[in-house]
Structures are given as C-alpha cells and as structure tokens.
Amino acid sequence: MTIAVSPVVGVGLPRVVGASLRVPVLGGERVEYANLDHAASAPCLEQVRDAVDELLPWYASVHRGAGFASQVSTRVYEQARDSVRRFLGARATDAVVFVRNSTDGLNLLARCLPRHTAVVLFDTDHHAALLPWRGPHVRRLRTPGSAAAAPLELDRALREAPVGPRLVVVTGASNVTGELWPVAELARVARRHGARVALDAAQLAPHRPVDLRELDVDYAVLSGHKLYAPFGAGALVGRSDWLQAAEPYLLGGGATARVTDRGDRLAVAWSGAPERHEAGTPNVVGAHALATACDVLGRHWEQVAAHERVLLERLRDGLRSVPGVEELALFGPDHDRVGVVSFTAGAQDPGYLAAALSAEHGIGVRDGAFCAHVAVARLAPGGRALRASVGLGTTAEHVDRFVAALRSLVTEGSRWEYERQDGRWVPREDPRPLPPFLR
C-alpha cells in the first residue's frame, strides 16, 4: 500500500493521483494545483489506479462467459458487491446494484417504489435527492433552522401522510454547507410511522463511516467519483423486496432470465435483483475501482478524519479573516460538518472570483448553486456562492494559498481583465497551454 505522511497532522494517508500536478497560470508560471473542489469530484486514489491497471489485462465479459478471463472478471465484479456492502455496514440480505452514480441510484429507487408510496423529504437537498420522486403523495418539507427541529417536522408530516407504503429521503451531509443531518434521529421517527428511509450518502461517505444497520436505514446511494474512484460507477444498496418486485430499470441482456417467442409477443421472465436492474454489459472496471476505494477508506477512517478536521478548521478560520466573507449554514456555524464550506464575499461575483482564483493562482473551487438551487437561493443573496472543499488531495499550503488569494482579490482586485463568455467569466486573453493530449 502506498502511504504518504500528511503535512498537516503527520499521519499516514492514502495518496491520490495528481498530487504533484502543476498547472499554468496567467503570466507564464506553473504552480502546484490546489484542488479545493473535492465535493464535486475527488481525484483517484493511487491504490484505485493500481487496482484498475492490475485488472485491465484480465478484462473480459462479465457473467455467462466460459473463457478464463471472463470468469476472473465475473469474480471481480461479484466480489465488489461484498466490499461495497461491508463499507456501508449493510445487511447480508441487502441488494447491491451497481449504477453510474448517486443520481442514477436514486432515480432507480424512485422507479421501484410501490404504487401510491408517500415520499417525504426536505427541500434543500441536492437535486439528485429532490427531483426523482413523482406523484400526488410527494411532500417537500421546508428545512428548519436547526437539526433538532428536523425530526419534529418529519413527525408532523408523517402523521398526515396517507396510509400505505412510505419513504423518507434524507441527506447524510449537505453538499452546500457540509453540515451533517441527524440521520439516526430521522430514521427513528420514520420507523414510528412505518416508513422506510433512503440515505443520500454521496457527500457523507467520502468523509465519515456509514453504517446502515446502526443508522437503521433501508437504502443508501453513493458515487465513485466522489469516493476517489472516478471510473463511472456508483451503487444503490438496500432491501431487495421493492427492487425485486419492480420492472427492470433498463430492458436488455442481463436483466432477463428467459425470453420466449409467443408469436404475437415476447414472454419475458426477468432476473432477480440486483441483476434485474443491471441490464447491458456491466462496468466491471468501475465496480472494481469503487470496491477498492471502499476497502482503502475503510482502513483509514481515523487518519482521514484527523486530516480533514485540521484542514477544515484552518479553512474556516482563514475565511473569517477575509473582509466581507459570509459562510452559508443550514443549522448554524457550530454544527458538525464534513470538509465543505460555501460562502459569499460581499457583492463580489462568485463566478468572477472562481475564474481569477484559477487563472491567476492555480486554485480550483466551485461557484454557482451546486445542483441545490433551493438551498443556495435561501442561503445566499442572488442564489449563487463559492464552495471550497477539502479531501485527501488537500494540503495546508493549498488552504493558505487559497485564503491569501481570495483576500487579495477581495481587497485589491484581479491583476488581469475578465469577460463573460457563454455565461462564465474567463480571462480576456488566456495564453495558458492545454496539456499535450488535448492539443
């Protein structure tokens, strides 16, 4: 295993690919890239890259192949389910369905709900958790001003929900503010009203352990691209009965156990879950990458938490020293959170600041509404903000350089001229060369 020493807390951490990446800035220099956009997509772990390289010579069709390489790939794919199940503390009977990402997983779950299921969720969730649910029995609750009030709001909503199947959709950690939601408390309320619980763990799983049994959660989704495994795979994990009873998410090979020609129609017997919802050739490389990331992070939670805790404190302290900066919060500045901070900087345009941080300082942050438009519209004037997020690829120097650059931009302005193109700020003249593979 490749181990590096954290420059912040002196504890061994898994290394990420691109940790020494140098990017061009305006003026002709190259600087070490400060990636403060882990909340959008995290870099690849070196262990994940190595695992993929090890698999690729053996890559072949998954399931039903007689060739030895096909048997190896099938074994890799099925063992990946065990790693994901273990990472999430899932039950032995829970299905692990490989999907593209958390959005795909929640849309799949929405397609599998029994008819007339009442769905309750909070309105500041990420669009992946907010939008898939349809029908007259979907209720979106306004997010309260404190985490303690959220279970009370949920209790009131479930008391009024129609009789029948019920599902509560909860977020583990806000992708806007990083704040943790009281998942276990919300699950207890759901249980009192006979409801199941689906957890959007996309932003939580890269930072904190998730245990479905301990939280008493029925379903969870996560994304490999946020979990240091950017190879196009995610997972929906949870109770198999609703998945087993639903029509396949996609129709095609793999989802079918048998197809019979009846003359005027085709009679189809569908496979059981999880294969029922994995039609087509599966992404064995992505599943193996995701499983490897789960195994690596599962062995390093103490180091990951210590690393991020110090960096997050450093980041928030630094932002408080920048004139005009206001941090966004759903539940208040002292609420527990993962390494995600969104903020405004007075009347400064977030897109302009993000463009200047990149072009002049080699710093990557996110600007806009972060696919959580309702949340950002409620918390930020104008409905747009900046977001800085830390992870395994972040160092103290990255955080300090970001704070210093932001302070300079806010107090002195940029050194270069910018203009808007296709809705985004860009340098008026940008001589920075693209990498050779794009030329």
CA separation (Å) from 436 to 27, 30, 283, 433? 20, 15, 28, 8
Question: What 3-state class would DSSP assign to 425?
Answer: strand
Q: What is the DSSP string of 112-123?
A: HSPTT-EEEEET
Is-catalytic flag, 44?
Answer: no
Hey, how many other C-beta atoms are within 10 angstroms of the C-beta on 347?
8
Contacts of 425 (CB under 8 A, 6+ apart): 349, 351, 352, 354, 355, 356, 418, 419
Q: Are strands 363-364 and 34-35 parallel, antiparallel or unpaired?
A: parallel
CA atoms lying within 13 Å on the CB side of residue 130: 17
DSSP 136: T
Q: Which residues of 209-237 are buried (b: 16+ CB within 10 A; e: fewer)?
A: ebebeebebbbbbbbbbbbbbbbbbbbbb
Question: What 3-state class would DSSP assign to 324?
Answer: coil
Q: Which helix (H) or strand (E) holds 198?
A: strand 196-200
Tell me if 303 sits within 8 A of 6, measured CB to CB.
Answer: yes
Residue of 44, 112, 294, 371 marked catalytic: 371
- Taking the mean position of all CA atoms in its chain, how far away is CA 405? 27
27-30: long-range contacts (C-beta < 8 A, 24 or more apart)?
27/360, 28/431, 30/362
Q: Which of 308, 384, 315 is CA-nearest to residue 345?
A: 384
How many Å apart are CA 180 and CA 193, to the nearest integer?
A: 23
Contacts of 104 (CB under 8 A, 6+ apart): 234, 236
**For the chain, what's the residue count?**
439
Q: What residues are annotated to the active site?
A: 371
